[in-house]
Chain A
């Protein structure tokens, strides 16, 4: 804090100020409770049926002009208390025409709802409010919680792929606890952080994000893709995801319980060479160590009898004789010649996961509650797994009308996320499965675990608790308090005060113990079984690391809105202010030399070489925002959004950014000429938006570490050994950039929306053109390293990203069969217009003009199949390889200088993120059956495949075995195998760069609702059973050996999950 403060009383003591505010809030609540008086009411009930005379559940029944309402039950029945001054009931349900029925003193009102799939009255959550679909002027898409629960994933982010046009979700791993998808709204827009802002119940960027929110608690998710996000200006540049949780519904208490039992397995397990094939390949490698002139004879000798006599007279023995290979293949000698499938040895066929949800909702019109309890448990793919994820969550949402002016909404979420792992990470485990030598035993025939490749990393052991454990417990408490106050006397004027407090407490605990593997000893035991000897691996003695990390986010907000209709003129005005702070603290402690592996508490560790550390951080923001919306007859729509934001990421002088958004819409179908000339298109809207949005989330290049304080000349700490002790050191963290300021997204969007045949067909298309300017990036490419500068990000980059997205759906009905088909997709292509580029780079390697992170590679041009091919070669390869040998790869001489040099690498237009992602939704219901199917696909991504450590320390993909160049079968397409990628052609060329296009059956659900009559017998009002699946089937996988969403070239990662799940939902 600066000393020259001009603030009033509490500027230097924010906590004091907060306390003041909170106590003020409490006083207000008390006052409101005192002033509340009961009002006279009458009861109305009835039944809502559809065209088939079936009871329609879930219909919202609201007393017109109030928030008082109820929802119909499974039979379509409802009952509610209507205030004496209640005039009419409004019945609404998605897919049906809303109806308004005057009450006129009736106590029973039955309604017949007519189909209306145009759903123009659907209410969409937008920034700081809601809007009807019909009047929205921005590009906003939404998905309902009821759709998301159909996906049996344990991570909400995995449910979004294929459901929302323009939103891509790429899942890189299925590891419990870290199985989220990377979500991008309209692709990649910046060289820095491309993550969207997640807003939960109006609060931006809550600790924990969206991944672990219980899908059963979600009412809707809306995505703001264009300037409509400008009201969140500061962090909205990459789009905004708005999550709204369910609120209580009035009526008698309704209890629902759902139970899901799922089973997961990897989507794709790479096919690897077996022991015999691997032995053949190691023999090949041994031959390739010889001069080329001896390859042929050596290969024949190895194949014939396992030996080869060299011209100099020495005899070379094959690593594996023909007898060895035969034994590997026929399995006759499990002790000496095992044939191990490491994936099979390590992974279960199916890994269980389960989820229980209990939800209670009810209340009166003036006091509604929703309480939700969730539990989930997710096992890992490993046998005897030490890995898993458990979650407990509770959510309580309360709404109270204190009187006709005051409404209070409270929400509290408690969640514990418990991640547990063995002490070796999934990277190491799957590295060892990929590498795992198939001619080593996972287990010896007597069941004891076999040896390792290195570091004791036999995957069948390091997946268990034999190595200790690594636990991560995160406890979140998130509270919302919101007070809506309608100013009496000023119609349409409302004040809203918000306080949200999020607390995270994270405890890490890592206990590493030595473990035992078994090596083949000498001789055999009395039974003739080979002797095994125990081998201690891992650390010399147990050690323990503890870590604690706490974070407190506080958001205080105040919003004023004025919403009124003046005849044909509709006006909404909103102004608000938000103050956000984050405080973080952490510490860690380490001890080794534990007296016994039996005691895993810190005190029991030795005093020698103990270690500890800790640190802290503060973050803060201050934001002002406004919305002005005007419409004329809801035909001409206009909206202006703005935000004035200050972020602690930037220095005082350049801290504030102003981010406006302008949007306009024209409901053409409301015009007389349209109604006359195009009557079949009952709804058609054209809209356009342009906005500037900000981004202050600067990451250090290639990391996800927030680059804070880039404007300050600060020095960071480390240690160095002086006089045999650690001494603190300092080094320049960076050279400061005092003028650093906001990155700006200039997002333009033009869209059309429409409906045909009264809603049978609905469509929506958008074209967008985003120009990101002032992108923060360091000038590493052009500033010579002789300067020694550690460069800060500067506002230098410019990236254009444009494309289109849209969806079209058809709703049909044939007898009792109701169905809908929807197709959606989004295409986005970005291009770097300017950033820091080395002045000397050749034109075809420049990144400017190419997509961000576009690949650069040598151009594969076949393989030198024979020595004759090499002799005929006229290109000079000496810059990259000393002597060409048969089976080497050919490269194109791109610059035509007759030499293959690094200048022959060419940058292409592809990255590891798809250009296009889309989905096709089919849903159908027939009598008591319902079915939803989601196909999802993506195109345009590329991914390297690398042999990585294949060779004498690691296995090869079976496709490599099958295709490889050999002396006997010289391929002109596929190269000779390399030992641990040691050949010039082992990487960085287009041969290894593969398309990652795919189409998969992402999700399906088949449900059956037990007939009511049966349900009544067992005391439930509704019972539905279902089966569903995630990643059920991959129909097209261009990547082949790995899951197409993989971004790990060597397959050394925890693969994506296929989940099959069965469940039931009971309502009482």
Chain B
């Protein structure tokens, strides 16, 4: 019996040694799904992957379910409880700022700024070969994105702390103060200059920062910097909140010449205009198909993509929310959700095709309001009677004509007449709770391809951050503000001709007003209006207006009989009436605190050196 026990004892001894292994190296596991930080910066491909990751801060571009347009006099948001009215009714507060998109969000911007800083720090002396200038390109992209994120912060929050270092853990003091507006603008412009220089001559991949995008960003930022809101004295005179603010330099220039700022803005915009040529901007007369030209740009196709300098793409291989614009904004009669719907204020600002103003008080226009409008109207707005995609199978029989129905119509029933609600209204037989409050739907940015059934199919339309056209506008605006009306008109009319609209002829303030409307129409739904109305300091008379809607009734003409409704002026008399949105739905108002978003209470609690924006 003794021998086996010896063996056993020995085996157990061996087993115990095996278990402890004399060392515990096996406990040093390594992550198998991540890569060590040190490895990243000595490998060009990994560094590129890191720099590409900085773009994630762009979120879905402007293609979220809630859009910035609904904080302006472009659209109203249909669904309650999303924080939209918190802003439009001017009741934002530092604990509840209302709907803040990830592309705006303070935390997210600084998260990505840190990433850019980290890339810039490590690319200053790259640890890999600068083959084909890859290190320069990545440095250029990082600087461009840092500038972009700072520009987001500045235009939403005012001057912010400029962080260009990479923080570590356990530093003594993380508190920082807000930089002045001038410091912020200079910082962004400098990054743009350096990015443009580094990216010059690098063939740009779609979606990456590039030389033109850097120049366009600089042009935008300098245009803003020259505007009323960014001039402390002007802001003080026009805004009660600013008047009471103790640190005006945070929000605007307190010294220097505005003319000089406009000249800088003009030069920056001109740099973009000189660097490329956009799309269809060489016409000398109104194009015959302005709608198509405009759609080509909005859908980034058929050459229209040449106008887009920097964008966020969506592809079916990676289904993302940004591919669901049709579902988010399309009509309920197509089983879509009708989120951001154009208000009548916007529709009414589309000119007639002859360049005259639309007016409800002109009876000839008021009875056929959707005839002979700016060709861009037809590319941007779905209105009552507008042709659109085929309806889904279950609704097809109710509307074989495939037209938008946002009115209330009489139809023949037996020997009498009954009134039925259009399929795309809030009294529809199809998902009435999703119907538009305004009688309009967004069309721009929705792929009209009938094969894309928006309720369950993603589209692949990119979001444009920078368009060549915007640089043209910025150039024209600077020219107007510098009194160079002729030069401004030369460029503005290129845009108008492309859209099939006649030339502008005004001068002085009249030209300025035409320019502002032109910009509103051309750049509609592109996240411009929110900022333009603020920097021009016209928000109280524009964004502060009550949103409104169109009430449409179709009455059968005498002797006409229609059993299944379709838009038909020969059988119907249509009446149109603009009605304000009920205050219990959305009671829009403007308070001067709304020029800037509040800095969140949590962040101020973390960093007492931060000064809150005026009015909060």
Q: Which residues of A contact B (CB under 8 A)?
A: 1-2, 5-8, 10-12, 14, 17, 20-21, 24-25, 27-28, 31-32, 34-35, 288-291, 314, 319, 403, 405-406, 451, 453-454, 485, 487-488, 495, 497, 517-522, 533-540, 556-558, 577-579, 581, 608-609, 611, 615-622, 646-648, 652, 655, 708-709, 712-733, 735-737, 781-792, 794, 838-841, 878-883, 901-902, 951-953, 978-982, 986
A-B Cβ contacts below 8 A, count: 350
Which residues of B1-44 have CB atoms within 8 Å of chain A's CB atoms? 1, 4-5, 7-9, 11-12, 14-16, 18-38, 40
A291 to B168, CA, bound (A): 55
The answer to whether B176 touches A652, judged by C-beta atoms less than 8 angstroms apart, is: no
* Partner pick for A881 among B20, B91, B106, B579, CB 8 A cutoff: B91
**Complexed CA–CA distance, A8 and B91 (Å):** 70
**B167 and A788: CB pair below 8 A?**
yes
Alpha-carbon gap, A926 to B194, bound state (A)? 92
Return A774 CB to nearest CB of chain B, in Å. 16
Given A534-B393, A708-B31, A522 and B398 touching (CB < 8 A)? yes
Chain B residues contacting A951 (CB-CB under 8 Å) are 80
Task: State the Cβ distance, A172 to closest chain B Cβ, in Å.
Answer: 25
**15 extra A-B contacts, CB within 8 A, seeds A21-B19, A487-B9:** A2-B25, A5-B23, A11-B25, A35-B4, A454-B337, A522-B398, A556-B15, A708-B31, A717-B34, A730-B40, A730-B52, A787-B167, A790-B111, A839-B606, A901-B93
Complex Cα gap A520–B397 (Å): 11
For the complex, give the distance between the alpha carbons of A981 and B81 in Å.
6
Q: How far is the CB of A692 from chain B (nearest CB, A)?
A: 21
Contact: B23 with A7, CB < 8 Å? yes
- Cα separation A308 to B33 with both chains bound (whole Å): 64
Closest 5 CB pairs of A and B: A788-B114, A902-B95, A840-B605, A535-B394, A982-B80
Task: Point out the residue from B1, B15, B93, B118 that lies within 8 Å of A732, measured CB to CB.
Answer: B118
Which of the candidate stretches B181-189, B279-287, B315-323, B355-363 sits at the interface with the other chain?
B315-323
- Out of B37, B397, B606, which one reaches A782, CB within 8 Å? B606
Q: Closest CB-CB distance, B230 to chain A, in whole Å?
A: 22
A539 contact from B115, B118, B456, B460, Cβ within 8 A: B456
Beta-carbon contact of A535 and B36 below 8 Å: no
* Chain B residue nearest to A556 in the complex (CB): B19
Check: B429 CB closer than 8 A to any chain A CB. yes
> Which residues of the other chain, A, contact B388 by a CB distance below 8 angstroms?
none
- CB<8 Å pairs between A and B, sample of 29: A2-B25, A10-B21, A17-B18, A20-B14, A288-B584, A453-B431, A485-B8, A519-B394, A521-B394, A534-B393, A535-B395, A558-B12, A615-B32, A616-B32, A620-B26, A709-B34, A713-B37, A715-B37, A716-B34, A721-B314, A725-B317, A727-B49, A728-B49, A729-B56, A785-B606, A788-B115, A840-B604, A882-B589, A902-B95
Assess A535 versus B392: contact at CB under 8 Å? Given A721-B312, A785-B606: yes
Q: Enumerate chain B residues within 8 angstroms of A8, measured Cβ to Cβ.
A: 21-22
Given contacts A646-B24, A724-B313, contact A497 B167 (CB under 8 A): no
Contact B52 A720 (CB under 8 A): yes
- Closest-by-CB residue of B relative to A285 is B584
Interface size of B in residues (CB-CB distance below 8 Å): 118
Contact A784 B603, beta carbon cutoff 8 Å: yes
Instruction: Report chain A residues within 8 Å CB of B96.
Output: 880, 902
Contact between A622 and B176 (Cβ–Cβ < 8 Å)?
no
Q: Is the CB of B22 within 8 A of A783?
A: no
**A731 touching B50 by the CB < 8 A rule?**
yes
Does chain A have a CB within 8 A of B205? yes
CB of A81, distance to nearest CB on chain B (Å):
23
Residues of A within 8 A of B50 (CB): 715, 729-731
- What CA separation (Å) do A11 and B28 show in the bound complex? 12
A498 to B112 Cα, complex, angstroms: 51
Given known A708-B31, A730-B35, A786-B110, contact A722–B317 (CB-CB < 8 A): no
- B314 and A838 within 8 A (CB): no
Return the contact of B606 from the options A288, A619, A732, A784 (Cβ within 8 A): A784
Once the chains bind, are A731 and B56 in contact (CB under 8 Å)?
A: yes
> Which of A558, A646, A883 gathers the greatest number of chain B CB atoms within 10 Å?
A558
Residue positions of B touching A, CB distance < 8 A: 1, 4-5, 7-9, 11-12, 14-16, 18-38, 40, 46, 49-50, 52-53, 55-56, 79-81, 85, 89-91, 93-96, 106-107, 110-115, 117-118, 160-161, 163, 167-169, 174-176, 205-208, 312-318, 337, 392-398, 427, 429-431, 433-434, 453, 455-457, 460, 551, 564, 579, 582-585, 587, 589, 601-608, 610
Instruction: Say yes or no: B114 contacts A609, CB within 8 Å.
Output: no
| B29 and A616 form a contact (CB under 8 A) | no
Q: Contacting B163 at CB < 8 Å: which of A291, A618, A788, A881? A: A788
Q: Of B23, B35, B434, B603, which one neighbours A785 at CB under 8 angstroms?
A: B603
Query: What's the least CB distance linking B456 to chain A, in Å?
Result: 5
Say yes or no: B37 contacts A783, CB within 8 Å: no
Distance from B304 Cβ to chain A, minimum over Cβ atoms (Å) = 16
The answer to whether B337 and A620 have CB atoms under 8 Å apart is no
Do the beta carbons of B11 and A27 come within 8 Å of each other? yes
**Complex Cα gap A622–B19 (Å):** 9
Task: Let me know if B456 and A538 touch, CB within 8 A.
Answer: yes
Chain A residues within an 8 Å CB radius of B20: 577, 579, 622
Decide: A558 and B19 in contact? CB cutoff 8 A: yes
Cβ-neighbour of A521 out of B317, B398, B457 (below 8 A): B398
Contact, CB under 8 Å: B29 / A733: no
Task: Say yes or no: B394 contacts A648, CB within 8 Å.
Answer: no
- Cβ–Cβ < 8 Å partners of B46 in chain A: 715, 730
Which residues of A lie under 8 Å from residue B15 when comparing CB positions? 21, 24-25, 497, 556, 558
Q: Which residues of A contact B23 (CB under 8 A)?
A: 5-7, 11
B40 to A, closest residue via Cβ? A715
Chain A hits for B91, CB < 8 A: 878-882
Distance (Å) between the CB of A1041 and the closest chain B CB?
Answer: 20
Question: Roughly how many angstroms separate A519 CA and B431 CA in the complex, as a whole number?
Answer: 11
Interchain CB contact under 8 A, B579 and A314: yes
Query: Taking A314-B579, A539-B456 as contacts, is the C-beta distance between A726 and B317 under 8 angstroms?
Result: yes
CA–CA, A960 and B15, complex, Å: 68
Question: In the docked arrangement, what's the CA distance between A788 and B176, Å?
Answer: 13
Given A6-B23, A24-B14, decide whether A609 and B317 contact each other with a Cβ distance below 8 A: yes
A726–B318 contact, CB under 8 A? yes
Give Cα distance in the complex from A17 to B14, angstroms.
11
Complex CA gap A91/B520 in Å reads 95
Complex Cα gap A792–B5 (Å): 52
**CA–CA, A783 and B605, complex, Å:** 10
**Min CB–CB distance A883 → chain B (angstroms):** 7
Residues of B within 8 A of A6 (CB): 22-23
Q: Which residues of A contact B431 (CB under 8 A)?
A: 451, 453-454
Identify which of A453, A716, A720, A952 gathers the most chain B CB atoms within 10 Å of its CB.
Answer: A720
Known: A882-B91, A901-B93. A618 touches B607 (CB 8 A): no
A1009 CB → nearest B CB, Å? 47
> Quick one: which of B85, B115, B206 contacts A982, CB cutoff 8 A?
B85
A709 to B394, CA, bound (A): 54
